[in-house]
Amino acid sequence: MNRPSSISRRQWIGSGLATCGFLAAGGLGLAQAADVPALKGYTRPGPVTESGRAPGLQSRLVSGGPGGEMTFAVVFAKGDEVLSGLTEFAERGNFSSGYFTAIGALQRARFGWFDRERKAYRDIPINEQVELISLIGNVALVNGTPQIHAHGAVGFQDGRMSGGHLLEAVAWPTVEIFFKTWPTPLIKEHDDETDLYLFDLKE
């Protein structure tokens, strides 16, 4: 696309942001383009691309069913990043559908609240030790690759709570997960209205 000479670069970028959201496809998206700056305090939807952030992750198959379903225990060590680790775990297992639940504790985290107008998550940073009261989520295929979607709630030392869509979570001392998968693939397709990938259960 050629930039019109009659408007400034800032105006051109602003008009592009107004009409273009993030489109995650094979690890690439419009948000990665050099001319599309990040929204301050917001995180655009997209695939997890950072790897190696959960070196202490351990997993064990604890149950298998006749239909091919499997249940794993997945445990994170101190300093492991949960979303990155879960993504790598799902990719290594080539999981095409499943869900998980977890409890534990975190030294820091970042949740999000989806802003319909901006088509991005407003960041909710957590910068202190908290109890991971609940973490629930699923895995499905996006462009043929397993993608994790999770929501969580955390508790502070005075009993207050916070949470939302999981963007980042660093375990301390641990996060304990039970992860169940099925052999039947579930697919998420791009939704133009939100720029999110949503379940499409039509065959």
- What's the domain range around 123? 58-199
Instruction: Note whether 108 and 154 are same-domain residues.
Output: yes
Q: What was the pLDDT predicted at 39?
A: 87
pLDDT digits (tens, 9 = 90+) for 159-201: 999 999 999 999 999 999 999 999 999 999 999 999 999 999 9
Instruction: Note whether 29 and 62 are same-domain residues.
Output: no
Confidence of residue 37 (pLDDT cuts 50, 70, 90): low
Q: What is the mean pLDDT of the chain?
A: 86
Q: Is the pLDDT of residue 32 over 70?
A: no
The number of domains in the chain is 2
Please state, as a whole number, how many other Cβ atoms lie within 10 Å of the Cβ of residue 37.
Answer: 11
pLDDT digits (tens, 9 = 90+) for 128-141: 999 999 999 999 99
Give the C-alpha separation, 9 to 4, whole Å: 9
| 3-state SS, residue 16 | helix
| 3-state SS, residue 104 | strand
Give the C-alpha separation, 36 to 17, whole Å: 7
Q: Does this model's pTM top 0.75?
A: yes
CATH code for the domain of 193? 3.30.1330.80
